[in-house]
Structure formats: structure tokens, C-alpha cells
A and B are shown apart, each in its own frame.
Chain A
Amino acid sequence: MNYAEESHQLDAEIFTVIQRWHDYDRDLPEDAFNELALRVFEHQLHYNQPYARYCETQNVSLERMPEHWHEIPPVPSAAFKEAALTTFDPEQAALVFETSGTTAGHTGRHYMESTKLYDAALIAGFDRFMRPDHIRLRYLNLVPNPALNPHSSLGYMMGRVSERRGDGATAWYLHGETFNVDAFIGDLEAAVEYDRPVCIAATAFALVNVLDILHERRRYFALPTGSRVMETGGFKGRSRVVDRDDLYARTAERFGMTNCSIVGEYGMTELTSQYYDDVMVIGHDHSIARVRYKLAPPWLRARVVGSDGATLPDGTVGALVHVDLANRSSCVAILTEDLGVRFDDSLVLIGREHGAALRGCSLAAEDLIVR
């Protein structure tokens, strides 16, 4: 098979996996996942030269193929800042997503050959974990507007979701560094008045800002039943970091919703698919504080690794490696600095704050509170 035939066939198989899960709740057994992951990886060794060269340094090549998806060398996410990691000519990319943060002036880029897998994966995951009740929502987006930020994966994601699952009154409030707070408040008021359930999609940092402004203005809302919040993105590069439980509690109070209407989404520019909190799927007693488990669609799996790269047993904290079959045209396995712990089929995200700091004659009395 030539490249076109091979990539087309793999895409079709992955697309089928996605559709079967989305439409018929058909899972992907471990052996089927393993077989497909290894074929996607083999395809990438053929056509993604930077990745193949890296795998050589890990003693993996077409001649020394792994037998299990755990053995696929994960490329560090920062490598997307170093090279175009694609199986195809990046000039021909249908989608180019850029990482929001830069390291030493470099922006990472994730090139995708087609929109088909990305769209199918995101809609399937969103439908399952964000709207298991199938409600058509009004999307109030506190994330980059894709019309202004075509390389924002988050913006693209919410653009697609709003288009396909929205009520036609989608709104965007971020314009560069500015936030149109009056428009946002006006739309919340309208949603309440006309009883239109909304989905507020926001980065954690934007959500904190919104809550601060609403606090200053002494505004509370009782959003219509079915309303929800999708929080994502963490506090990367921001000076202010807020405890997530506290953030969710404040959000629930401010918008008149239960804690389990707030869903944490975990995604990366370098991935095609996303994880979500289990809260809307499980539907638990929201008066009880509990750990939020991240769930993934069956074509996305995580393993937790130690410093030797080996998979750690369930219940052990380590770095996360994601294997995303929908990353067919880039790298199927991604190593992150995010910390997590696995329990059976779910994942608990421990932290996303990156970067080591200079430590001097010591780490000192950082916890000193001076009276």
C-alpha cells in the first residue's frame, strides 16, 4: 500500500471505532486497541521521520517493533516545538494548532492531515461526557474565538461543538487580552429570562477572572436547569493559581448550579482527543466531596510512568503518557510533564504546573507567613 491508501485505511478504521462508540456504545477491547495502536505506530515509523529517528534512540524501529502499546516510545510534548511531527507534508495540513505557552520563544505546532478524525473524536467525547442528557445548549465561550485565533485547538473545539450542538446563539467574549464582561453578563441574564440552558466554556484562568468581576459587582445567577460549565486549561504561565475545589465551589455558588454541573476537561494541543471529569456521567450525590476521575474515550489511553519510562502500577503517581489513536497523522504516544495516577480505567490528574525553578542556598522559608 502506498501512503494515501494506508493513511486512508487507518483513518477509516479509527473513525469506525469512534462512531461505534458514539452511536452504539461499542467499546474497544484491549487487544483491538493494541493491534491498532501498533499499526498506527508502524505507519508513523514509515512516514514521520523525526519521530522515527527519535524512536531509534529508544531502540525501536521497523525492525525492532514493540509488541505492546505500552512499549511505543512516547515523544515528549515539547518536541512539537522542535520539529514538524507529521506523517505528511505539513504545508498540506488541514488543521494547525499551536501551543498557547512558549518555551524560550518557540511555539509548538500540531499539524493534522484532515479534520475528519479530530471532529469525530471531539464531538463523540463531548457528547458522552459533557452532554449525556443530549440537551441542546447555548454556548457562552470564554475561550479564544476561532475566527480570531485559527490556531487555537480549544477555540476550534468549542467552535465545532457550538456549531453542531448549539442553539444558534453562540457567543465569544475574549478578544485578545480583553474580556467583554458586559456582553457576558447580558447573555447570562437573557439565558435566565428565556430559560435557555447554557454551557460556559472557560479556561480556569478566565473563570477566576469572571468570578472576581461578578464578585465585585455582587452578581449571582440562577442559571436554567441543565446549564453547565466546562473548565479547562489550568493556570500555565499565570502568576495566580487557585485551588480547583475552591474554584468549582465558587463557580457553583455564583451560577446557581451544582458542583457536578462543572466538568473539568483535560486536553493538550498535542492530542486529538480529550479527557473529561466523570461527574456528569456518574451523576453522584453532589453534597459529598469526592475525587474527580478523568474518563477518556476508548481510543485514548493513558499510562503513568516513572523516571525510567516504565509503566507504574495503578495507584502510583507519575508522569502521564497518552496514546491517542486519533493522532494518526502525527505521533500516537505523547509524554507529558503532567502528573497523574491511574485507577482501573480512569485517571486522576494530580497537577499540570510545569517548570523547575532555580533553587538556591535553599528552598528556604517559602511557607513563611510574616505577621
Chain B
Amino acid sequence: MNALRAVPARRVVRAVADAAVRWSDADFPPRVRLLDRIVERTGYTKPVVEYALDQLFGSLTVDSLEATIAGELGSLDVLDEFALRPGRPRARALPAGVVCVISSRTTIGVAIVPAIFALCAKCEVLVKDREDGLVRAFFSTLGQELNEFREVTRAQGWEGEGDAVDLGRFDVVVAFGSDATLGRIAAAMQGGARFIGYGSRASIGYVAREELRDLVQATAIAAGAARDLVLYETEGCLSLHALFVERGGLIDPTHFTALVAHEVERASIEFPPGKRDARASARITNARNLAAFRSAAGSGSVFSDARGSYLAVLDPPASEPPAFLPRALAIHAVDNPSDAIGYLVRHDVPVEAVALAGKREDLRTFATEIGAHRIARFGDLQRPPLGGNHGGRARIADFITWITDER
């Protein structure tokens, strides 16, 4: 039995939140020390990394953690003792065992949220950390807040294949990656162990014609879309990769695309473009020139800047999948959500989240039909609430096992 099991859940939550508060401070020395290393690893610019850290740690509050846990488990008390839950037998939530979180190359601190919830479930946690050592540093702060964390948290640097872990010894494995990678990991696990895989997904946006009534409203939507596009260089599953704009609004799709392009340039002042490798640059250059070629032939429009720092293409051929390139956005003029569904199905795009501008009920239906896990406002795609269900999964429920007392 690990040392954390004797600590009341509220104390665990408080310690996590206190550590997060310290990390939310841009002047917190460990954060300052790590900043350049995260920039170096990800290639993102400092403002983007600072934003990511603010978002990540700012969301880990006592209230949000407790609300999320209580929402999923019925109450916090079940983590400490047998407790009543409304309409259900008295039960206790026991830790599922030893958890391994395999971190990812891009998203900053992606392993921290599952690790935190595994700790709230009082599991022992090993994180395969990335080169910047962010998880290791945060675990160190956790240990300062609550001594028991030192015994149950471990972060190992990721050294590649020579550092492969023996996944057979874990009770729960959380991993982020392609379907092939997740398949390999799952195959290496012991029977009975839980596997929580977050596969490759993309996010999209949809703008209803009713929202394009005036320039102010359209500009606000465009500004949100621009933010969703530029953050994290369009690399995350919450990045905006395709945008569907209904025809028939007072602001037409061409005008709206121009607004988006303008807002991308504005957003790039706050979040300057990161480092781009030669391959990405080559692809962007080709995509931009091909779009220009099509535009010259009367098909679609293209917006970019002299440096090729972004690319907004209106009406690329429907036969073409999203570009999946840094700061590249395909904007499709559509008549209704069915057109967007047709496109997404055709290209087999797994959708994580959809940014919606519009209040019509068919838009919610659209989000459901495309299999999205989240509906958000434009500008909030990259700010998922802690209590949300990333990947359509529970936050803490996967890290516990139940015992009920039905007497």
C-alpha cells in the first residue's frame, strides 16, 4: 500500500492546487529555469510556452479538481472511505494500481493532467517525461507541498528506444500517439491492465450564416478562429485544421476568410510563429503556391504573408484532406452541416473538438454526428476546461476501482 492512501483526498487536492498556484506564477524560479528548455524542445516561441503553462497550471484549482472528481465519482469522500452516493450503493474508490503516463513530443505538459488525477486517485505514478523535464520539475514541487508525493511520483527522462519501459508491470497505461503506436503499446501490456489511449485527432470549426450578420460579430469569430489556429503551431488535437463557413450570411465566405487572415496576422503578434523545420517550410511553400495556382485558374482564394508564416485557403478541392501544416487552415464554404459531414467522412478525420458559432439545434446534431468530444466557442478550443472529457474519456474514473457495500 502506498503512502498516499492514508492521506485524505481533500489534502491531496489541496497540495496539487498549491503546487499549481506556484507554477502559475511566471516568476516561479523552476518555471523560469525551464522556459528556455521547453522553447528549445517544442520550437514554440516564449509567449506560446508561457500561455501553455498559464493555461495548464491555472486550471488546476481546488474547486475545479474537486468538482471534476465529485462529478465523476459522486463525491470526494469515496476516495477515503465507504460513502453514500445519491441513488447508488455505499462504495469506496480504491486506486487502480501503478500508473504509467507516456508523454508526448508536442503538447506542453500533456502528461500532467492524467498524472494529477491518478494521484488524486492515490495511485503511484511514473511519467515518461520529455527532454525539458517539466513533469519532473512539477513533481518536485508536489513533493514540497506533500511529502507523500515523493514516494509515489517518478518522472523519467525519455531517451528513446534505449529507454523503453517494461509496460507489463503497470496496472494502467496512459499514452498519446498514432493508432499504430497505441496498438503497439496496448499489445505490450498485461492482461487485465487498463489502457487509456489518446489517438491522433484534429479539431474543426463551423460558422452558421446567422452569425455573419455584421462585421463586428464576424471579426470576433475570425479572431477566435485565428487564435485556435496559431497556438501550438496547429500541432495539437485541439488546433483548428478545417473551418466550414455557411454561405448566405451578410459577410460572405470570401470576406470572412480575409477577416481570418487579418486576425491571424494580429494573433501572430501575441503568439509569434515558432521554429519550422525545412520539411514543414517546403510543404507550406508548395501548399501556398498550389493554392495560388488554383486561385489564378478561378478556383478558391489564398491568403498568406510574404514569409509564408501562415496560410488560409478558401475552397480548396473537396477531394483534398486538411493540410495538417503549421498555421495552415482550409476554409470551406458550405450550405449546411451535411456538406461538412460529407467532407470529414470522406477524409476520415477523427474530430476531437468543434468550435461552433451558431445557436441552431442542427449544429449540436452536427457535432454529435462527426464524433466530436467537445463543443467550444471560437477562441476557446485550446482552453479545455479541467472538468471536460478530453478524448471523450473520464478524468479520474479510469484510475480507480470500486468496491460497493450493499448491506
Contacts and interface: CB of A to CB of B under 8 A. Distances in A.
A76 interface: yes
B181 A365 contact: yes
A361 B107 contact: yes
Contacts of A56: 296
What's the interface size class on A, roughly? 35 or more
B181 A83 contact: no
A308 interface: yes
Contact of B102 (A74, A82, A365): A365
A16 interface: no
A308 B309 CA distance: 8
A82 B317 CA distance: 10
A218 interface: no
A81 to B, nearest CB: 9
A358 interface: yes
B323 interface: yes
Interface in B219-264: 235-238
A50 to B, nearest CB: 6
B188 interface: yes
Contacts of A354: 283
Contact of A362 (B187, B236, B289): B236
Nearest to B202: A358
A362 B292 contact: no
Contact of B175 (A319, A339, A350, A365): A365
Interface in B170-212: 175-178, 181, 184-185, 187-188, 198-202
A361 B237 contact: yes
Contact of A360 (B165, B199, B284, B285): B199
Grouping DSSP codes into helix (H, G, I), strand (E, B) and loop, the A interface class, with mixed when no group exceeds half, is loop
Interface centre among A306, A350, A357 (most CB of B within 10 A): A306
Given A82-B294, A308-B308, A357-B324, A362 B235 contact: yes
Nearest to A341: B278
What's the interface size class on B, roughly? 35 or more
Contact of A365 (B104, B276, B323): B104
A370 B293 contact: no
Given A53-B296, A335-B285, A364 B352 contact: no
Contact of A317 (B128, B238, B278, B308): B278
A106 B290 CA distance: 14
B190 to A, nearest CB: 12
A79 interface: yes
B325 A356 contact: yes
Given A104-B320, A369-B161, A362 B285 contact: no
Interface of B: 102-107, 110, 128, 158, 160-161, 164-167, 175-178, 181, 184-185, 187-188, 198-202, 235-238, 276, 278-286, 289-290, 292-297, 306-309, 317, 319-325, 349-350, 352, 390-391
15 contacts: A50-B296, A76-B293, A83-B293, A307-B309, A309-B289, A319-B278, A336-B286, A356-B280, A358-B202, A361-B107, A362-B105, A363-B235, A365-B175, A366-B178, A368-B181
